């Protein structure tokens, strides 16, 4: 620890000796650091004050001394993306998001822009990337047809990326290049100048109130009846329910604390992770029906624990397998699909139960801000956008209500007296 502190002080004194004022009023500090290409190069940083410039250079040189290379404008986009994902983004993103970023870079960005020099990347290159992703058949490009049914048999299936995926590719590239701008390796983020367009929200088909009741009736004898009950009454996400511990529930007070969703990760398997945003970590009120079903579920779980004896794996989870282990989200999806079939309902995604809960709340006249807090959305605009399809029905109800208020009654043929004359 002492050696490291001495090294930082040494780097700081060296950086201070390399700082100088500029004619434009800013301060400039320069030094040599390790790059992603394995060479050392002179880097310059700028600040509005002497201390700001020295601190920036000190941080960059200390990272270089620890073996963390800095991006270089003369490296390729592929090398830079690998550096950014392995050394920068991995510390800033949730594990599942980082895995998705890495997959996006590998499948869509690197094959097209990978050999391009980072410093020579232009707005035109980014626009060409997005246009190519929108128009090219992914089956042909990535050779997905292994059965010889379509593209490999010279019968193109036209499997193109959705506008939402193209927009996501653009976001990943934009985030990566922004780091290079912050490191003063690029003068500007060329991806910011290319509009990717705003994809339309995916139209959801939630259950109607009658269908929701039909589902709950079919799930009465299911060992996870309390989970389906909770999903339809509260709109909790799949991972949020699977990550619930009994310590998160206050059945006497009728509340539940959402703290850590359960997800499958590439490094740790099934694991509880921090919530995506601070708004997602919340405390909700449980309906009476959910409290009752959770109490019954706890008794059922105690019976399962007694039945398997030493084979029970205690983890404190509310919803578990018959041996106490956490439930894999994929297995829950399979169980849900089977339940829909037994109930005689159309096939929907499990996430549509969340949409069902929110839609029914809106149709019952619950305020949007209350639904936003219940669902754990970061901004009310997200709630309004996702459930925009409900508004026409609510408008019709409002118009009909106003029409009834303005319609004369049988015994009222005269206009009501004016409260005041407006001049």
Burial label for 273, CB within 10 Å (0-12, 13-18, 19+), is: middle
Phi and psi angles of residue 335, each rounded to the nearest 5 degrees, phi first: -65, -35
Rounded CA-CA distance 207/350 in Å is 11
Residues 333 and 224 in one domain: yes
In a domain, 423, yes or no: no
Q: Give kind and range of the element (H or E) at residue 229.
A: helix 225-234
- Say whether both 187 and 243 belong to one domain: no
* Distance separating alpha carbons of residues 105 and 78, to the nearest angstrom: 9
Buried b / exposed e along 219-233 (16+ C-beta atoms within 10 A): beebbbbbbbbbbbb
pLDDT in tens, 152-197: 777 888 888 888 899 999 999 999 999 888 877 788 999 998 987 7
Answer yes or no: is 106 within a domain.
yes
Integer CA distances (angstroms), 397 to 359, 367, 394, in order: 15, 15, 5
Whether residue 106 sits in one domain with residue 56: no
Q: Residue 104 and residue 110: Cα distance in Å, rounded?
A: 9
Within 8 A by CB and 6+ apart from 239, the residues are 261, 262, 263, 329
- Of the listed ranges 150-159, 362-371, 405-414, the least confidently predicted one is 405-414
pLDDT of residue 423: 35
Which residue's structure tokens are 């002492």?
Answer: 2
Dihedral angle, C-alpha 404, 410, 411, 417, nearest 10 °: 40
Asked if residue 417 is part of any domain, the answer here is no
Q: Are residues 331 and 216 in the same domain?
A: yes
204, with CB counted inside 10 A (0-12, 13-18, 19+), is: middle
Does 385 or 150 have the greater pLDDT score? 150
Rounded CA-CA distance 225/290 in Å is 10
DSSP codes, 146-171: -SSSSGGGT--------HHHHHHHHH
The pLDDT, as a whole number, for residue 6 is: 46
What's the rounded Cα separation, in Å, for the pair 155 and 140? Answer: 10
Residue at 86 is within a domain: yes
**Tokens for 93?**
């993103």
Q: Are residues 10 and 95 in the same domain?
A: no
What's residue 150's pLDDT? Answer: 82
> What mean pLDDT, rounded, does the chain reach?
82
Place of tokens 């269908």: 211
| Strand ranges, E, within 279-408 | 282-285
In a shared domain, residues 182 and 137: yes
Res 377 pLDDT > 70: yes
- Global pTM reads 0.68
Q: Which one, of 376, 398, 359, lies nearest residue 275 by Cα?
A: 376
- Taking each helix axis from N to C terminus, what angle separates 352-363 and 225-234, rounded to the nearest 10 degrees? 50
Q: How many CB atoms lie within 10 A of CB 407?
A: 8
Query: Range of 238's domain?
Result: 210-348
35 assigned to some structural domain? yes
The CATH number of residue 319's host domain is: 1.10.443.10
Whether the per-residue pLDDT at 298 is higher than 90: the answer is: yes
Tens digit of pLDDT for each residue in 209-261? 999 999 999 999 999 999 999 999 999 999 999 999 999 999 999 999 998 89
Same domain, 92 and 116: yes
Structural contact between residues 388 and 245, judged by C-beta atoms closer than 8 angstroms:
no
pLDDT of residue 11: 46
Residue 26: which CATH number?
Answer: 3.30.160
Q: Which residue has the higher pLDDT, 409 or 91?
A: 91
Residue 368 located in a structural domain: no
Summarize pLDDT for 271-286 with one digit per residue, the tens.
888 877 777 888 989 9
Residue 380 lies in a domain: no
Please say which residue of 45, 65, 85 terminates a domain.
65
Q: Bridge-partner residues for 70, per DSSP? A: 35
- Same structural domain, 265 and 233: yes
CATH number of the domain where residue 172 is located: 1.10.150.130
- pLDDT at position 127 over 90: yes
Same domain, 58 and 84: no
Residue 395 lies in a domain: no
Residues 83 and 140 in one domain: yes
Residue ranges with strand state E in 35-133: 40-47
CA 365 to chain CA centroid, nearest Å: 28
Count of domains observed in the chain: 3
Q: Are residues 153 and 254 in the same domain?
A: no
Token code pair at residue 372: 């936003």
Question: Quick one: pLDDT band at residue 113, thresholds 50, 70, 90?
Answer: very high
Query: What are the residues facing 21 on neighbouring strands?
Result: 27
Domain check: are 344 and 234 in the same one?
yes
Of 294, 318, 348, the one marking the end of a domain is: 348
Q: Which of 348, 363, 379 is the last residue of a domain?
A: 348
Q: Strand, coil or helix: what is 10? A: helix
Q: Is the pLDDT of residue 45 over 50?
A: yes
Q: Is the dihedral of CA 366, 369, 371, 373 positive or negative?
A: negative
Residue 362 has pLDDT above 70, yes or no: yes
Question: 4 or 106, which is more confident?
Answer: 106
Rg of the Cα atoms in the chain: 29
Q: Are 98 and 89 in contact (CB under 8 A)?
A: yes
pLDDT score of 394: 64
């Amino acid at each position: 620890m002492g050696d490291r502190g001495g090294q930082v002080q040494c780097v700081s004194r060296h950086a201070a000796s390399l700082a100088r004022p500029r004619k434009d009023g800013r301060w400039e500090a320069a030094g040599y650091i390790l790059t992603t290409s394995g060479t050392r190069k002179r880097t310059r940083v700028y600040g509005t004050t002497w201390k700001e410039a020295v601190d920036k250079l000190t941080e960059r040189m200390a990272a270089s001394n620890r073996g963390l290379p800095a991006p270089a404008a003369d490296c390729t986009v592929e090398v830079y993306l690998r550096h950014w994902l392995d050394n920068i983004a991995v510390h800033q993103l949730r594990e599942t998001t980082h895995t998705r970023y890495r997959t996006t870079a590998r499948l869509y960005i690197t094959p097209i822009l990978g050999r391009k020099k980072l410093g020579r990347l232009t707005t035109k290159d980014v626009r060409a990337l997005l246009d190519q992703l929108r128009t090219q058949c992914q089956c042909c490009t990535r050779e997905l047809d292994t059965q010889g049914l379509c593209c490999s048999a010279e019968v193109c299936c036209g499997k193109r990326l959705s506008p939402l995926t193209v927009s996501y590719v653009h976001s990943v590239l934009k985030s990566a290049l922004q780091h290079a701008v912050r490191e003063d390796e690029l003068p500007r983020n060329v991806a910011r100048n290319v509009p990717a367009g705003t994809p339309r929200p995916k139209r959801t088909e939630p259950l109607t109130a009658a269908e929701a009741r039909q589902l709950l009736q079919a799930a009465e004898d299911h060992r996870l009846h309390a989970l389906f009950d909770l999903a339809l009454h509260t709109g909790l996400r799949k991972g949020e329910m699977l990550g619930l511990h009994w310590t998160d529930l206050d059945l006497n007070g009728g509340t539940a604390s959402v703290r850590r969703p359960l997800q499958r990760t590439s490094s740790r398997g099934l694991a509880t992770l921090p919530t995506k945003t601070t708004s997602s970590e919340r405390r909700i009120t449980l309906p009476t029906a959910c409290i009752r079903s959770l109490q019954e579920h706890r008794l059922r779980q105690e019976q399962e624990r007694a039945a398997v004896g030493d084979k029970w794996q205690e983890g404190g989870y509310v919803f578990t397998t018959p041996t106490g282990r956490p439930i894999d989200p994929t297995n829950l999806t399979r169980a849900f699909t089977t339940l829909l079939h037994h109930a005689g309902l159309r096939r929907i995604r499990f996430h549509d139960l969340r949409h069902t809960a929110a839609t029914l709340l809106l149709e019952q006249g619950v305020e949007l801000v209350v639904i936003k807090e219940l669902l754990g959305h970061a901004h009310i605009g997200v709630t309004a956008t996702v459930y925009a399809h409900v508004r026409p029905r609510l408008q019709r109800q409002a118009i009909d209500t106003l029409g009834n208020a303005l319609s004369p009654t049988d015994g009222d043929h005269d206009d009501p007296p004016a409260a005041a004359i407006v001049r």
